[in-house]
Structure formats: C-alpha cells, structure tokens
Chains A and B, each alone.
Chain A
Amino acid sequence: GDSVTQMEGPVTLSEEAFLTINCTYTATGYPSLFWYVQYPGEGLQLLLKATKADDKGSNKGFEATYRKETTSFHLEKGSVQVSDSAVYFCALNSPGTGNQFYFGTGTSLTVIP
C-alpha cells in the first residue's frame, strides 16, 4: 500500500544552518506530495506541495522537489531561524484513495540561537 518514510528526529540546528529532512514514498499511482508543519500548540499547516514529477514546492524559504526516479520529496532550507522550530510531516495523497493522506512519523526540529 501507499506509505511515507521520513527521517527520524529530533533534529537540532544552530540558527542559519542548512536544513534537510529526508522523505521517501511508496505509491501505486501518481501521488501529490506535501509537507505539513506543526508549531507548538497549533494544528498541521500546509507548508508546501507538489503535484507531479519534477515540480518544486516552495514557501517561507523551504523547498522540496518531487523526484519520481528516487521516490523522494526531501525538505530543504538554506538558513533556518529559531521560528522554524516545529514538527515537520511529509505526506502523500494518491488518486483513488478517497483523498486520505498518508503521513510520515514527523521530524521535530529545534533551532537554537
């Protein structure tokens, strides 16, 4: 079945460091791929998405490219800030699955000044 495997956390970085959070997926069809972020005490918020191969989603300095050949959607940011501290979830949504999402386990990121 469809699934998402996400880099284990927690991740701790210094401010202005480069961030990569790895995400790979397994899907039978052609899924859409998402990164959601959860700040403390808040709900899951859409960070970015990509709907087809080679698409790049970007938002707030974060980027992820839909790589069909490696079935990956790694999240990157060139220079993290303390305010980026949150839990990041990779997810996919396959056509024909009734619009249900498949999530990874989430990666907790802490950015220290």
Chain B
Amino acid sequence: EPEVTQTPSHQVTQMGQEVILRCVPISNHLYFYWYRQILGQKVEFLVSFYNNEISEKSEIFDDQFSVERPDGSNFTLKIRSTKLEDSAMYFCASTSSQGEETQYFGPGTRLLVL
C-alpha cells in the first residue's frame, strides 16, 4: 500500500540553525500539508500546498518557515533560523484532491532545538 515517507526520523539542531524536513507524498496525490505537534499539545496545522503554491497557512507559519516541491516527488519544510520553541514532531500529509476528506500522514520527524 502506498505511504507517505519522511526523513529524517529525528533531528537535533542548535538554535539559529536552518533545518530542512523532507517528505515524499503518495505519488498520485496533489495536495500536501505540514502539521506539527509540540510535546503534550495538539497536532496543529501549519500549511497546505497545491500546484506549487501555498493554499493556506496558519498563524504559526511565519516568515521563518517555507515550503517547496523541488522535484516531482519531494515536499520540504524549511525552518530558516530555528528557535527552542520549534522543537516538535512534524507531520507531512497528502491527499489526492481537495474534496478527498482523508489525509494520509507520514511517520513524522522529531525535531529538537538546543
């Protein structure tokens, strides 16, 4: 069964450094999402992406964040200058169409900012 994959599974970085989290969505999917979960808190929506553009973004998704689909398979989340409070689990998701209700999630990347 097709699945969403994410790399790395864990990343430790120093405050102020840039990180890139990678996702490979399901191959025929067109809509892509990033969510994050700070430890003990809710899973929060960050951004949705379609047709090489951001469709929607939350208040969390400020100028330090960016997303990109650099090729036909990868979907990346870049955090430009990490802060301690960026430590969280980051989930990528994809869906085949906007009307499709079910999103398919990756296993997540656990980011720790020191």
Contact between chains at A44 and B101 (CB < 8 Å):
no
Other-chain residue from B40, B95, B104 in contact with A99 (beta carbon distance below 8 A): B95
Which positions 80-111 of chain A face chain B at CB distance < 8 Å? 89, 91, 93, 97-106
Set of chain B residues within 8 Å of A101, measured between Cβ atoms: 33, 35, 43, 45, 93, 103
Contact between chains at B48 and A99 (CB < 8 Å):
yes
| Whole-angstrom CA separation of A100 from B56 in the bound complex | 9
Chain B: minimal CB distance from A84 (Å): 19
Which positions 81-114 of chain B face chain A at CB distance < 8 Å? 91, 93, 95, 98, 101-108
Name B's interface SS.
Answer: strand
Name A's interface SS.
Answer: strand
Chain B interface size, under 10 / 10 to 19 / 20 to 34 / 35 or more? 20 to 34
Other-chain residue from A46, A49, A106 in contact with B43 (beta carbon distance below 8 A): A106
Chain A: minimal CB distance from B76 (Å): 17
Tell yes or no: A41 within 8 A of B by CB.
Answer: yes
Q: Known: A49-B101, A49-B102, A98-B48. Contact between A44 and B91, CB under 8 A?
A: yes
Number of interface residues of A (CB under 8 A): 25
Tell yes or no: A45 within 8 A of B by CB.
Answer: yes
| Whole-angstrom CA separation of A70 from B70 in the bound complex | 45
| Whole-angstrom CA separation of A103 from B42 in the bound complex | 6
Residue of B nearest to A4 (CB): B42
Q: Known: A43-B105, A51-B101, A105-B40. Contact between A100 and B33, CB under 8 A?
A: yes
Tell yes or no: B51 within 8 A of A by CB.
Answer: no
Contact between chains at A105 and B55 (CB < 8 Å):
no
Chain A: minimal CB distance from B105 (Å): 4
A sample of 22 cross-chain residue pairs with beta-carbon separation below 8 angstroms, ordered by A number, consists of: A32-B101, A36-B105, A41-B107, A43-B106, A43-B107, A44-B105, A45-B105, A46-B104, A49-B101, A89-B43, A93-B101, A97-B56, A99-B31, A99-B33, A99-B48, A99-B98, A99-B103, A100-B56, A102-B45, A103-B44, A105-B42, A106-B43
